[in-house]
Amino acid sequence: MRLAGLHMKNYKCIGDTERRLRIDGIVVLIGQNNAGKSTILDAYEAFASAGAVREHDEFHREDLSRPIEITGVFNEVNAADEEAVGKKWTYGDAEYGQCLKVRWVWSKPGEKGLKQSFNPTTGAFEDGGMGGWDSQIQSRIPQPLRIRPTESVETTQTKIAAMLKDHVKTRLKADSSATKSAFAQIEALAKSIFDDSKAAFDDVATRINASVSNIFPGTAVELIPRSKDALNENIIGADSYLKVTTAGGGSTPLLLQGTGLQRALLWSALAVMADKGDAKKKPAAVAAPRILLIDEPEAFLHPPTIRSARDALYDFATGNPDWQVIATTHSPVFIDLSKDHTTIIRVDADPTSEHYISTDSISFDEDERTRLKMVRACHPVVNEFFFYNNIVLVEGPTEHLVVKHVAGLIGTDVHVIDCMGKANIPLFARILNHFKVPYVVIHDADTPFIRRKKKLVKSGTWTVNEQIRNSVAQSKGSHLFTQFPHFEGEFFGEELTSGKVDRVLEALDSKESSEYQRIVDTYSRVLFRDAGVMTTTQAAFETKRDAHIQANGLQTAPLWSGHEGVAAPIVVAQQPAAAVSVVQSALPLAGVGQASGDAPLQ
């Protein structure tokens, strides 16, 4: 079985309004401090504890009149699962597909929780079920491994060693016939198996060293086992430890190394476990399902190392089908929308808010994945927009500078996404649409035609205008501002092929100029979402286009008409006053301030 959903009520900071989370191969939880991200990881640990007693302070606001309820939803239920817990509990759910649901309810602190199973026949939870014995369902659900940045080195070392132990044991069981026969002759070949185990650990350590040495040159790691029994669960348990050799030649236990190296070793171990290129890795029998719960994986890591850690975490989740990952983070670097089976969830104080995105649901094509990787490579923290509500999408650095400058003047906090090109705006708009966060788009209209090799051809960037408009139309509360034909033309009446950023910096520094006043007035109205300057609808876009052509005498301009000396078609439809006022967006306004009764996005 695989965890597909987690529902929580009255647990720690989660109140009586149920918080429901969809769980994927890897889930990244983001949000402000004290929003409840770590509480979600705590909740799954409580669920997987088979009803272990809860403390008084784990009840929401210590209100004992409302019981704690934590429900697990599981899909990918196979025949062995159904044989263990019974077929009657599996059903087709509208949200999760074929699944089963089990929950634990704690009514009092200090007492074991009560297991309840959802009966699809009655449509309600009932006490017990799922094979009767708690151990029946307990043996089928993914068991958690929790890693916290505040844990002691001893605890972290034990968990790293335990993960490596499971990895090596699984590999040994699927390895050569000689090793398999050794397992069949435990007493006679115990030493042989121990040697094979040590060799396997040495091989794993060699590949870990290759990863760690990229961050800490000259560093080597060796596992020192304290048992000669290769089948003993304690072969790398409490009596075993990890030894680190540094570039200076010293060799000391991991316990004495810096926090950064300890954390880097964790990521290197995960990377090795996910290594699809391991020549000695053989198909293994299905292992018990596990789930890695990790708080703030970016903790104590140097910025370049964070990116390596992100890749290791995602590769671990995709390379180990028996594992799932739930991570909490404050780092946008840990968000990678180019990966399959990934869900990003923003945890807000309001449990009814639903800000999440699943890469399986949004279904990026290969071109979109490539562009996401390209933008992320050039702008590593681009995914920071997931942490904000007041978002503006721009196509380049010119508008980015102006938005931040004007936002500072009017006192509003805004996050600007430089989409690194107009063609990328629809992609980011679609992501925000799925995440259910409104936004403002600022982009250039460009011209319908361009010259290429002295010939007039249709402009690809002009067709993107409609794509952007359609994307914005699918979002509730989003707006669009179009500059004709571009920022320099709208505010300076100029055509620049270079030095655009220098030109806008010069304008922003000339605070007494009419250009500065025009920029500040217009962008202030945009940030206040004044409908009078927006081109969100096709009618508003066409009104501003026609006004631009008429005001600048472009009726016969080839880049607008598509023909040398032929007038551009101008069709001015009857528009509401608000739409007509769009044509005045480049004119100086009476003052800077709130318009149309709108407040800035919060």
- pLDDT digit string, tens, across residues 282-340: 444 446 788 999 999 888 777 777 888 888 888 888 888 888 999 999 999 888 888 88
- pLDDT tens, residue by residue, 123-176: 999 999 887 667 778 888 899 989 888 777 667 667 766 766 666 666 665 655
- Residues 128, 177 within the same domain: no
The two three-digit tokens of residue 230, written as one number:
């290769």
Task: Name the percent of the chain in helix, strand, coil, to the closest 5.
Answer: 40, 20, 40
Predicted TM-score (pTM) of this structure: 0.75
User: Do residues 430 and 570 both lie within one domain?
Assistant: yes
Contact by Cβ (8 Å): 573, 537: no
pLDDT tens, residue by residue, 470-515: 999 999 999 999 999 999 999 999 888 889 999 999 999 999 999 9
Q: Is 589 within the bounds of a domain?
A: no
Clarify whether residues 20 and 72 are in a common domain: yes
Q: Same domain for 380 and 400? A: no
Q: Which two tokens stand for residue 288?
A: 């018990």
Side chain identity, residue 150: T
471-488 core/surface letters (b: 16 or more CB in 10 A; e: else):
bbeebeebbbbbbbbbbb
For residue 485, whether the previous peptide bond is cis, meaning omega lies within 30 degrees of 0, is yes
Show the domain range for 448.
Answer: 389-584
Same-domain pairing of 295 and 244: no
Q: Give me the residues paired with residue 481 across strands.
A: 442
The chain-wide mean pLDDT, for the chain, equals 81
408, HSE (Cβ side, Cα atoms, 13 Å): 6
Three-state DSSP string of 522-574: HHHHHHCCCCCCCCCCHHHHHHHHHHHHHHCCCCCCHHHHCCCCCCCCCCCCC
pLDDT by residue (tens digit) across 436-450?
A: 999 999 999 999 999
**pLDDT at residue 71 in the model:** 97
Same domain, 468 and 535: yes
Q: Give the residue carrying structure tokens 């681009």.
A: 382
Q: Residue 156's CB: how many other CB atoms inside 10 A?
A: 21
Give the integer Cα–Cα distance in Å for 323 and 94. 25
Residue 407 sits in a domain of what CATH number?
3.40.50
- Are 368 and 499 in a shared domain? no
Instruction: Return d(Cα 353, Cα 148) in angstroms, integer.
Output: 27
Tell me whether residue 308 is in a domain.
yes
**How many independent structural domains does the chain possess?**
3
Question: What pLDDT is attached to residue 263?
Answer: 60
